[in-house]
Amino acid sequence: MNQQARPQQVLYLKEEGVNNYISHLQDRLKLTHAEVRQKMRIESDRMKTRYDLRANTGGFQVGEKVWLYNPKRAKGKSPKLQKSWEGPYIVVTRLNDVVYRIQKNPQAKMKIVHIDRLTPYQEPHPNEGVT
Protein backbone atom coordinates (compact mmCIF):
# COMPACT_ATOMS: atom_id res chain seq x y z
CA MET A 1 0.00 0.00 0.00
CA ASN A 2 2.35 2.72 1.25
CA GLN A 3 5.59 1.75 -0.41
CA GLN A 4 8.80 3.64 0.10
CA ALA A 5 10.49 4.81 -3.08
CA ARG A 6 13.63 2.92 -3.88
CA PRO A 7 16.87 4.91 -4.28
CA GLN A 8 17.02 4.36 -8.04
CA GLN A 9 13.44 5.66 -8.36
CA VAL A 10 14.29 8.80 -6.43
CA LEU A 11 17.40 9.45 -8.50
CA TYR A 12 15.70 9.03 -11.86
CA LEU A 13 12.32 10.75 -11.33
CA LYS A 14 10.99 12.36 -14.43
CA GLU A 15 11.50 16.09 -14.01
CA GLU A 16 8.55 16.98 -16.19
CA GLY A 17 6.18 15.18 -13.80
CA VAL A 18 7.58 17.07 -10.81
CA ASN A 19 7.52 20.41 -12.64
CA ASN A 20 3.96 19.77 -13.77
CA TYR A 21 2.91 19.01 -10.19
CA ILE A 22 4.64 22.13 -8.87
CA SER A 23 3.06 24.44 -11.44
CA HIS A 24 -0.37 22.90 -10.83
CA LEU A 25 0.08 23.35 -7.06
CA GLN A 26 1.14 26.99 -7.51
CA ASP A 27 -1.92 27.68 -9.67
CA ARG A 28 -4.23 26.15 -7.06
CA LEU A 29 -2.58 28.18 -4.28
CA LYS A 30 -2.97 31.42 -6.27
CA LEU A 31 -6.66 30.70 -6.85
CA THR A 32 -7.18 29.82 -3.19
CA HIS A 33 -5.46 33.01 -2.02
CA ALA A 34 -7.54 35.13 -4.40
CA GLU A 35 -10.75 33.52 -3.19
CA VAL A 36 -9.81 33.99 0.47
CA ARG A 37 -8.91 37.66 -0.13
CA GLN A 38 -12.27 38.24 -1.82
CA LYS A 39 -14.21 36.56 1.01
CA MET A 40 -12.26 38.53 3.63
CA ARG A 41 -13.08 41.79 1.82
CA ILE A 42 -16.78 40.88 1.70
CA GLU A 43 -16.82 39.96 5.41
CA SER A 44 -14.95 43.12 6.33
CA ASP A 45 -17.53 45.24 4.48
CA ARG A 46 -20.36 43.35 6.15
CA MET A 47 -18.87 43.86 9.63
CA LYS A 48 -18.35 47.57 8.93
CA THR A 49 -21.97 47.94 7.84
CA ARG A 50 -23.22 46.27 11.01
CA TYR A 51 -20.93 48.38 13.19
CA ASP A 52 -22.03 51.60 11.47
CA LEU A 53 -25.69 50.77 12.13
CA ARG A 54 -25.20 50.87 15.88
CA ALA A 55 -22.33 53.36 16.06
CA ASN A 56 -23.00 56.63 17.83
CA THR A 57 -22.11 59.18 15.16
CA GLY A 58 -24.00 62.19 16.52
CA GLY A 59 -21.77 62.81 19.49
CA PHE A 60 -22.65 64.59 22.71
CA GLN A 61 -22.71 68.24 23.75
CA VAL A 62 -20.87 69.63 26.77
CA GLY A 63 -23.24 69.50 29.76
CA GLU A 64 -25.32 66.62 28.36
CA LYS A 65 -26.08 63.66 30.64
CA VAL A 66 -24.90 60.22 29.54
CA TRP A 67 -24.72 56.62 30.75
CA LEU A 68 -21.27 54.99 30.94
CA TYR A 69 -20.86 51.32 30.00
CA ASN A 70 -18.56 49.76 32.59
CA PRO A 71 -18.91 45.95 32.75
CA LYS A 72 -16.87 45.50 35.92
CA ARG A 73 -17.34 42.24 37.76
CA ALA A 74 -17.74 41.90 41.53
CA LYS A 75 -16.58 38.59 42.94
CA GLY A 76 -19.27 36.32 44.29
CA LYS A 77 -22.09 37.84 42.21
CA SER A 78 -23.51 36.67 38.93
CA PRO A 79 -22.41 38.92 36.04
CA LYS A 80 -25.95 38.79 34.67
CA LEU A 81 -27.29 40.47 37.79
CA GLN A 82 -24.72 43.26 37.93
CA LYS A 83 -25.32 46.68 36.44
CA SER A 84 -23.20 47.36 33.37
CA TRP A 85 -24.31 50.97 32.90
CA GLU A 86 -23.36 53.66 35.42
CA GLY A 87 -24.57 57.19 35.66
CA PRO A 88 -25.75 59.63 34.87
CA TYR A 89 -22.47 61.34 34.06
CA ILE A 90 -22.13 64.84 32.66
CA VAL A 91 -20.02 65.54 29.57
CA VAL A 92 -17.36 68.02 30.69
CA THR A 93 -15.24 68.28 27.54
CA ARG A 94 -15.10 66.87 24.06
CA LEU A 95 -11.44 66.01 23.46
CA ASN A 96 -11.96 64.98 19.83
CA ASP A 97 -14.71 63.40 17.71
CA VAL A 98 -14.79 60.15 19.67
CA VAL A 99 -13.20 60.82 23.08
CA TYR A 100 -14.94 62.65 25.94
CA ARG A 101 -14.10 63.72 29.48
CA ILE A 102 -17.03 62.96 31.80
CA GLN A 103 -17.71 63.45 35.50
CA LYS A 104 -20.39 62.03 37.80
CA ASN A 105 -20.56 65.08 40.09
CA PRO A 106 -18.37 68.16 40.70
CA GLN A 107 -16.37 66.42 43.47
CA ALA A 108 -15.84 63.14 41.54
CA LYS A 109 -12.76 62.31 39.51
CA MET A 110 -13.09 62.91 35.76
CA LYS A 111 -12.93 59.97 33.36
CA ILE A 112 -11.76 59.97 29.76
CA VAL A 113 -13.82 57.53 27.68
CA HIS A 114 -14.49 56.56 24.08
CA ILE A 115 -17.88 57.41 22.59
CA ASP A 116 -18.66 53.69 22.11
CA ARG A 117 -18.97 53.37 25.92
CA LEU A 118 -21.52 56.21 26.17
CA THR A 119 -25.25 56.40 25.52
CA PRO A 120 -27.68 59.29 26.08
CA TYR A 121 -29.31 59.54 29.49
CA GLN A 122 -33.08 59.92 29.55
CA GLU A 123 -34.79 61.31 32.61
CA PRO A 124 -37.26 58.83 34.16
CA HIS A 125 -40.95 59.71 33.91
CA PRO A 126 -42.53 60.97 37.16
CA ASN A 127 -45.08 58.11 37.22
CA GLU A 128 -42.51 55.40 36.53
CA GLY A 129 -42.24 52.83 39.30
CA VAL A 130 -45.55 53.78 40.91
CA THR A 131 -48.09 50.96 41.06
Question: pLDDT, tens digit, for every residue of 52-91?
Answer: 888 777 889 999 999 999 988 888 888 888 889 998 999 9
Yes or no: say if 91 and 102 are a contact pair by the CB < 8 Å rule: yes
Greater confidence (16 vs 113) lies with 113
pLDDT higher for 45 or 54? 45
| Cβ contact 68:87 at 8 Å | yes
Instruction: Round to whole Å and give the CA distance between 8 and 6.
Output: 6
Q: What is the mean pLDDT of residues 94-120?
A: 94
Return the pLDDT at 131. Answer: 60
pLDDT of 66 reads 96
What pLDDT was estimated at residue 99? 95
DSSP string, 13-78: --HHHHHHHHHHHHHHHHHHHHHHHHHHHHHHHHHHHHHHHH---S---TT-EEEEE-----TTS-
The pLDDT of residue 81 is 86
**Residue (of 69, 72, 61, 64) closest to 114 by Cα position:** 69
- Annotated domain spans of the chain: 9-54, 65-120
Residue 75 φ/ψ region, left for φ over 0, alpha for ψ in the -120 to 50 degree band, beta for the rest:
beta
**Res 16 pLDDT > 70:** no
The CATH class of the 65-120 domain is mainly beta
Q: What is the average pLDDT score of the chain?
A: 87
